[in-house]
Amino acid sequence: MFDSMLDFAARGLSGAGWGTMLIYLLVVTQLTIFAVTLYLHRSQAHRGVDFHPVIAHFFRFWAWLTTGMVTKEWVAIHRKHHAKVETEEDPHSPQIYGIKRVFWDGVTLYREASERREDMEKYGRGAPDDWIERRVYAGHPMAGIVLMMLINIALFGVAGVAIWAIQMAWIPFWAAGVVNGLGHWWGYRNFESSDTATNLVPWGVWIGGEELHNNHHAFPSSAKFALRKFEFDIGWAVIRSLQAVKLAKVLRVAPSLDVRPNVALPDTDTLKAVLTHRFHAMTDFYRNVIVPTLREEAAHAGESIRDVPKRLRRAMADGGRWLDGDKRAQLDAVVEQRPKLQVVCDYRARLVALMEQRGADSALKALQQWIHEAEQSGIRTLQEFAQRLKGYRLPTAA
């Protein structure tokens, strides 16, 4: 009997070796990532995809079993993050709380946010509210992770406790820490969105495609996160596979953009496309107008563009929105010393302002005026940008 107990403690019912346990750990943690990114995030929070009831319930069950998170709470906290991004009401912004706290203690911020019941009701609408949700998943959220621990111990003995501990740390570290923290702190940006979201790497594999966080913030309701040819989103690959066997229905993806040639005057189609692709337009403006102008003026002065600190160069993309007082003053000084750069930065500010205007008629008139003046500015890069901008159009439905 004693020997049997020792054998069970050492190897569990499965008798698995270390290699098998490692494979098991990778499978169960990847399933948890998929439950979060596919079900909680893309389906429940943003309604970008619907899953067959069997698949949806499996993801809901698995999230309960391996994380103890309640669907309504996760959805509400994430929706509030988008609604209040980078403000004091954002549940987990590194700009507000600091990168160290969000990275290492993001789970505490999540718990604090989940205690705001008015937010849960306001932002959590539409989340599951059936009997099993009320009585089991939301009613006893910790029961799932306790059951998971017992399953692991039964399968692998004492080693199952270590596997369970890694499972419990997986989402708090990768989602609450890496995505919510580093995903607003470090990486590259395809779109100059109105926040600090970044893409961590172009290949969204390890954490289900959530690595492409800037793309997601640019088009939140899109079920597909990879938006450039060299990017890959494993979550989207899973969705497409499920769609192929009728187990998923894609509801929304990021809209594409057509550019019409030889457009004399921007029209309502132009305005609609500009507003839909505002982050794309502002990114183009930074890369194709501001940066070349800064480089040109530096060359005329016998300087290098690198003489301007990289952080200040990057800040020109959003008007220095995220700079502190001292850095903002430095940026203003850099711009004021370069007359042509001052002009294009002023045009950028005006373009942002017209995109925020209420009323289609007034916004269209402002856009037409902006393009007319840009074409008469005598600044080649600005003229070329205006020519391209007025040709914007959303593709017509097939």
Which tens digits make up the pLDDT trace of 163-175?
999 999 999 999 9
CA distance 89 to 71: 21
Q: Is 90 exceeded by the pLDDT of residue 9?
A: no
DSSP 22-87: HHHHHHHHHHHHHIIIIIIIIIIIT--EEE-HHHHHHHHHHHHHHT---HHHHHHHHHHHHHTTTS
Contact between 37 and 207 (Cβ < 8 Å): yes
Q: Which of 293, 315, 317 is nearest to 305 (CA)?
A: 293
What local confidence, expressed as pLDDT, does residue 14 receive? 87
Q: Is 80 exceeded by the pLDDT of residue 246?
A: yes
CA distance 101 to 185: 13
**Residue 203 neighbours by CB distance under 10 Å:** 16
Q: pLDDT tens, 84-97?
A: 999 999 999 998 99
Average pLDDT over residues 99-121: 93
Q: pLDDT tens, 379-391?
A: 999 999 999 999 9
Q: Is 90 exceeded by the pLDDT of residue 15?
A: no
What local confidence, expressed as pLDDT, does residue 327 receive? 93
65: its two tokens: 């079993």
Contact between 60 and 51 (Cβ < 8 Å): no
State which H helix or E strand residue 310 sits in.
helix 310-315
Range of lowest pLDDT (89-93, 114-118, 325-329, 394-398): 394-398
State which H helix or E strand residue 104 sits in.
helix 99-114
Q: Which of 129, 130, 152, 126 is nearest to 29 (CA)?
A: 152
Q: pLDDT tens, 216-240?
A: 999 999 999 999 999 999 999 999 9
Q: pLDDT tens, 324-370?
A: 889 999 999 999 999 999 999 999 999 999 999 989 999 999 999 99
Average pLDDT over residues 27-51: 98
Average pLDDT over residues 271-286: 96
- The torsion defined by the Cα of 43, 45, 48 and 54, in degrees rounded to 10, comes to 10
Quick one: pLDDT band at residue 301, thresholds 50, 70, 90?
A: confident
Q: Is 70 exceeded by the pLDDT of residue 177?
A: yes
